Structure 1
Amino acid sequence: MNPLSATSWLADLGAAGVFLVLFAETGLLIGFFLPGDSLLFTAGLFCTTSATAPVHLSLSLVLPAAAAGAVAGAQLGFLIGRRGGRPLLARTRNPHLHRGVERAEELLNRYGHAKAIVLARFIPILRTVLNPLAGILAVPARSFTIWQVLGGLLWTVGVTLAGYLLGTSIPGIDQYLLPIIAVIVVVSLLPMLLELRRNRERHRRVDR
């Protein structure tokens, strides 16, 4: 199995692969590299293939698996952060995670808990580090749970149904899976890239 390939997870494990990837990506720091967005979209596409296709999934299984993985993973990440996440983050040497922590802190400070928790669901790496960070910063558990569940449902159901609707409206679209996944990855990274650009512009103005 290729852990970076959405198709590989789905072909080998089906809906269980959806649960595992989203649980690890949102609940464990080591899961930040997993293909959350592309997995959801691809899973939606595979729900529209024929029963004889190499990979065929059931939407009635994929949607609850995705929602459960995202919600349970985020809650685990929050509990890890509350019970000692700062030392764990300090021991992590991956530069992508450290930049993610900085952006997550900025997101919480700029938008407040509710909006930041929901928005982070749609941004790779941020949806991994914001959950333990919310625990570290003592975000109220009730507030975190409400907004992470709402954000998790919007993300998982929305992206999966987008893939499903595209698959039902354009027959044979799964033949162009690789370029579609490439577009999804680029689009999912756009908010992060825009935020980096804004930060650089702010730093330049401060330096002047």
Structure 2
Amino acid sequence: MTTTHLALMPDFLDPMTLLGYFGTWALVGLLVVIFVESGVLFPILPGDSLLFVAGMLAAGTAAVADEGGETINFQLWQLLVFIPIAAILGGQVGYWIGRNLGTAMFKPDARFLKQKYLDEAHLFFETRGPFAIVIARFVPIVRTLAPLTAGAARMSYPVFALYNILGAVVWGIGLTLLGYTLGQFEIIQKLLEPIFIAIVLASVAPMFIEYYKRRRAAKRAGIAAPPIDPA
């Protein structure tokens, strides 16, 4: 099966197109994207769907060609070893960026590193504990900002490192194996774009659930609920 560009997605969010751009360096490009999205200040990347597609490519149930027409292939063992490593390292770098630069990066009017993210991170970690680092892996944007806010909030490094490793392994291996396994069904191959959209919706659902909880709490307290701002 040869998979083409997904029309409803911009190129940098389309995992097929993105891997095609990387060509013979597809594995390196994949790992760089995972590393960057795991904590290095660029949160808008297709991490979840990219892992799913990588698993399908390893299973041989999807095909992506580079600009020269050569088919890109992955070995499953490479993905299961190197993806978690790239995710762990990205999180570690994000933590130390936040730790060393502290709150100076967070501004009230910043595009991504808003002061409110830091304030909410304190509450997020207090209410959910360090396991929040694992949960954040499965939420776009949040998985990039979580290590930064954890570092800026001075979370204990050994605790962060433990949960960062756990989250990276569960996320990286889990979604890759999901693509590897489900990609063998023909119906999955035919419905790739709706599946990618479903993955995105499922990933951002926790943000809307959290907003709904805060809105209900605000109504009970008799105050206006804060507006949702997933960006």
Distance in 2 separating the partners of 1:38 and 1:149: 20
2:200 equivalent to 1:200 = no
Distance in 2 separating the partners of 1:91 and 1:67: 33
Q: Which runs of 5+ in 2 are unaligned?
A: 1-9, 66-71, 224-231
Larger deviation, residues 58-67 vs 159-168 = 58-67
- How many residues matched? 205
1:171 Cα shift? Answer: 3.7
User: For residues 77-156 of structure 1, what are the structure 2 equivalents within 5 Å?
Assistant: 77-90=94-107, 93-94=110-111, 100-101=117-118, 103-113=120-130, 115-156=131-172
1:95 Cα shift? Answer: 5.9
Distance in 2 separating the partners of 1:164 and 1:53: 15
Give the one of 178, 182, 205 matched to 1:190: 205
AA in 1 matched with 2:12: P
Name the TM-score, length of structure 1 as normaliser: 0.88
Name the TM-score, length of structure 2 as normaliser: 0.79
Aligned to 1:67: 84
AA in 2 matched with 1:204: K
Cα separation, partners in 2 of 1:144 and 1:23, compared to 1, 3 Å: same
Cα separation, partners in 2 of 1:76 and 1:201, compared to 1, 3 Å: same
Segments of 4+ moved more than 6 angstroms: none
AA in 2 matched with 1:9: L
Larger deviation, residues 51-60 vs 13-22 = 51-60
Aligned to 2:44: 33
2:9 equivalent to 1:3 = no
Q: CA RMSD in A?
A: 2.4
1:178 Cα shift? Answer: 1.0
Per-residue deviation, residues 134-186 of structure 1 (Å, max 9, x unmatched): 11111111111111001110011011111111013x14733322111111111
Distance in 2 separating the partners of 1:20 and 1:59: 18
Distance in 2 separating the partners of 1:81 and 1:52: 39
